[in-house]
């Protein structure tokens, strides 16, 4: 079967007329979240992936609505149910002038599972795939069983230069040693806490970009980021604060571009330990982990007033969530609806579970990683406290939070009892989200890489594995929808809402919004 690609309709793009210092030479972008590294394989995190794609490319590309199209692979075909053949482009060179070949693909795929200290590795995308070089511009990938999401997985793996990065560590790449790709921009510098700078690749195989230099400034503070745009310090900002969206929409020198996000904001609960470190009785003594009780989980999700969070905290820039992706995506369940707020029913469930007086809980989360994240955690804490679960909040810088949430506990287990986090479906479908967030944690199998609650459900695992092995798209969607119902009815995690993605730019620029939240200089045009 030969792959066929269809042009996708462009997401709405806004033409903004001529104001500010943006020229065809330099573009300055204000980011709300800082990448944790310039190593493209170190951390499967939206800020990391977004900046990496300026320097590195994948075999398969995704457009602004996550439709797949050729990248460094110009075409592909299936030779049988478990064998794919990819034809690589012959006109591509790395930034150092060396040619792109199959050797670079093999090097990159072998590197992914071996990056030390990765807080969220990309191992799941390469696990179970045996890659064979046929010639310099042809590779074959074999799997033990049909892999329906082969292209989605390949779209997540950046191709690095085998020559330049052969012995490069994450620290080397952060310093620009071996940070060599085929992308539209070349790495210049990464200054943690301040900026990442790239310069135009004039020999780019798709043609030169309009911006000679792009500076990504890390501006976590919402008011500071907006002020930087209005003062002319930056030309584009991402994650427009919900409190400022309506005001900026009326600003004649600024225009907004937005799209519904595939990011869900959710709560993960500790399902690993019999006694959880940040759960206590009301008198402070240790108790059995209440999150193992389904009725406790049901009580907590019913105690959350999602419409109130969307309206009052997100100021309408979100949609209440029922599962990991909005149900407009294939593979989601139309039967699942956001859990209705019902405090009395929640209190009854808590009492039936054996906690009529509740317990004490600390929720941990990042401060400044997601839109209004601290406010959301505080609101949820208030709602749980009304339920009878006396809840306190501790927020941490994102890099510190994710490290501790992943492996800060004994024997590098997750440290916390309950966390708030977000997940963006980079593959444009729910299977990868469910595999990463909710399948049983198994580093060897590449499952549960972001399962910081260590949820485990054999029935759910089997459905996901069956879905990945089902090539028929309609049947696969039915299987994933069933899996979503199983895990949501079991309250494997607690979804809160889906964010909206909003960018603001100065007059004189055209911005194309993306459903995957990636902020690209390639999406900005004069």
**Per-residue model confidence as pLDDT tens digits over 244-300:** 888 898 899 998 999 888 899 999 999 999 999 999 999 999 999 999 999 999 999
Do 246 and 289 sit in the same domain of this protein? Answer: no
Measured CA angle at 7 (ends 478, 109), to 5 deg: 70
* Alpha carbon distance 319, 381 (integer Å): 20
pLDDT at 246: 82
pLDDT at 518: 94
pLDDT band at 501 (very low <50, low <70, confident <90, very high): confident
CB contact at 8 A, 227 and 481: no
Do 44 and 170 sit in the same domain of this protein? Answer: yes
Domain annotation covers residue 7: no
pLDDT band at 24 (very low <50, low <70, confident <90, very high): low
pLDDT at 4: 33
Domain annotation covers residue 323: yes
Tell me which residue range forms the domain holding 323: 261-500
Domain annotation covers residue 187: yes
Q: Which of 405, 380, 406, 404 has the alpha carbon at shortest distance from 393?
A: 380
Regarding pTM above 0.85, the answer is: no
Q: State what percent of residues in the chain have pLDDT above 70.
A: 95
Dig out the tokens for 12 from the structure: 């709405």
CB contact at 8 A, 454 and 442: no
Do 276 and 410 sit in the same domain of this protein? Answer: yes
Do 343 and 461 sit in the same domain of this protein? Answer: yes
Q: How many CB atoms lie under 10 A from the CB of residue 520?
A: 18
- The whole-chain average pLDDT of the chain stands at 92
User: Given a cut of 60, is residue 20 above it in pLDDT?
Assistant: no
Do 22 and 84 sit in the same domain of this protein? Answer: yes
Model confidence pLDDT, tens digit, residues 127-171: 899 999 999 999 999 999 888 889 999 999 999 999 999 999 999
The number of domains in the chain is: 2
pLDDT at 133: 98
Dig out the tokens for 338 from the structure: 């956001």
Domain annotation covers residue 3: no
pLDDT at 15: 33
pLDDT at 372: 92
* Alpha carbon distance 8, 274 (integer Å): 49
pLDDT at 119: 87
64's enclosing H/E stretch is none
Do 345 and 228 sit in the same domain of this protein? Answer: no
User: What string of DSSP letters covers 22-50?
Assistant: --SSEEEEEESS--S-S-TTTB--HHHHH
Domain annotation covers residue 6: no
Domain annotation covers residue 381: yes
Do 242 and 272 sit in the same domain of this protein? Answer: no
CB contact at 8 A, 124 and 437: no
Do 372 and 424 sit in the same domain of this protein? Answer: yes
Do 213 and 298 sit in the same domain of this protein? Answer: no
User: Given a cut of 50, is residue 73 above it in pLDDT?
Assistant: yes
Domain annotation covers residue 287: yes
Domain annotation covers residue 1: no
Dig out the tokens for 99 from the structure: 């040619």
pLDDT at 426: 77
Three-class SS of residue 475? helix
Across the range 421-434, mean pLDDT stands at 89
User: Given a cut of 60, is residue 3 above it in pLDDT?
Assistant: no
Do 232 and 292 sit in the same domain of this protein? Answer: no
pLDDT at 18: 35
pLDDT band at 243 (very low <50, low <70, confident <90, very high): confident
Model confidence pLDDT, tens digit, residues 345-401: 999 999 999 999 999 999 999 998 898 999 999 999 999 999 999 999 999 999 899
Do 352 and 476 sit in the same domain of this protein? Answer: yes
Dig out the tokens for 97 from the structure: 């002038």
User: Given a cut of 80, is residue 69 above it in pLDDT?
Assistant: yes
Do 302 and 432 sit in the same domain of this protein? Answer: yes
Which is more confidently placed, 216 or 526?
216
Q: CATH number for the domain including 122?
A: 3.40.190.10
């Amino acid at each position: 079967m030969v792959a066929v690609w269809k042009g996708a309709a462009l997401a709405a793009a806004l033409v903004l007329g001529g104001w500010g210092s943006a020229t065809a030479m330099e573009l300055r972008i204000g980011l709300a979240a800082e990448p944790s590294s310039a190593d493209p394989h170190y951390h499967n995190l939206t800020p990391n992936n977004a900046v990496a794609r300026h320097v590195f490319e994948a075999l398969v590309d995704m457009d602004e609505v996550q439709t797949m199209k050729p990248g460094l692979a110009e075409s592909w075909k299936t030779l049988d149910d478990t064998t794919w053949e990819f034809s690589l482009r012959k006109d591509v060179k790395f930034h150092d002038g060396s040619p792109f070949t199959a050797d670079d693909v093999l090097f990159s795929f072998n590197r992914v599972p071996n990056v030390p200290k990765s807080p969220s590795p990309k191992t799941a995308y390469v696990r179970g795939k045996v890659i064979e070089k046929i010639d310099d511009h042809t590779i074959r990938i074999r799997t033990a069983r049909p892999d329906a999401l082969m292209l989605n997985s390949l779209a997540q793996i950046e191709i690095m230069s085998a020559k330049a990065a052969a012995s490069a560590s994450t620290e080397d790449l952060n310093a620009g040693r071996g940070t060599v790709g085929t992308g539209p921009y070349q790495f210049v510098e990464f200054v943690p806490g301040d900026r990442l700078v790239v310069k135009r690749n004039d020999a780019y195989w798709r043609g030169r970009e309009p911006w000679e230099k792009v500076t990504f400034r890390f501006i976590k503070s919402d008011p500071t980021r907006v002020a930087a745009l209005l003062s002319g310090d930056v030309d584009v900002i991402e994650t427009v604060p919900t409190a400022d969206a309506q005001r900026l929409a009326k600003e004649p020198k600024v225009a907004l571009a937005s799209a519904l996000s595939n990011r869900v904001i959710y709560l993960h609960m500790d399902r690993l330990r019999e006694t959880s470190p940040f759960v206590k009785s009301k008198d402070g003594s240790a108790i059995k982990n209440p999150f193992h009780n389904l009725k406790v989980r049901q009580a907590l999700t019913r105690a959350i007033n999602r419409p109130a969070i969307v309206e009052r905290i997100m100021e309408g820039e979100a949609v209440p969530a029922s599962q990991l992706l909005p149900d407009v995506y294939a593979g989601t369940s139309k039967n699942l609806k956001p859990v209705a707020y019902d405090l009395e029913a929640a209190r009854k469930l808590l009492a039936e579970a054996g906690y009529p007086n509740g317990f004490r809980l600390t929720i941990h989360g990042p401060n400044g990683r997601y839109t209004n994240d601290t406010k959301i955690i505080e609101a949820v804490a208030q709602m749980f406290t009304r339920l009878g679960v006396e809840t306190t909040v501790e927020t941490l810088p994102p890099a510190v939070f994710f490290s501790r949430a992943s492996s800060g506990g004994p024997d590098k287990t997750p440290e916390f009892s309950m966390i708030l986090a977000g997940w963006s479906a980079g593959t444009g479908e729910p299977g990868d989200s469910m595999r990463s967030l909710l399948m049983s944690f198994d580093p060897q199998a590449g499952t549960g890489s972001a399962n910081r609650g260590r949820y485990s459900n054999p029935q759910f695992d089997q459905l996901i594995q069956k879905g990945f092995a089902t090539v028929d798209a309609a049947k696969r969607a039915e299987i994933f929808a069933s899996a979503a119902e199983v895990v949501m009815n079991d309250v494997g995690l607690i979804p809160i809402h889906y964010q909206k993605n909003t960018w603001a730019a100065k007059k004189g620029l055209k911005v194309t919004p993306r459903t995957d939240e990636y902020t690209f200089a390639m999406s900005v045009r004069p």
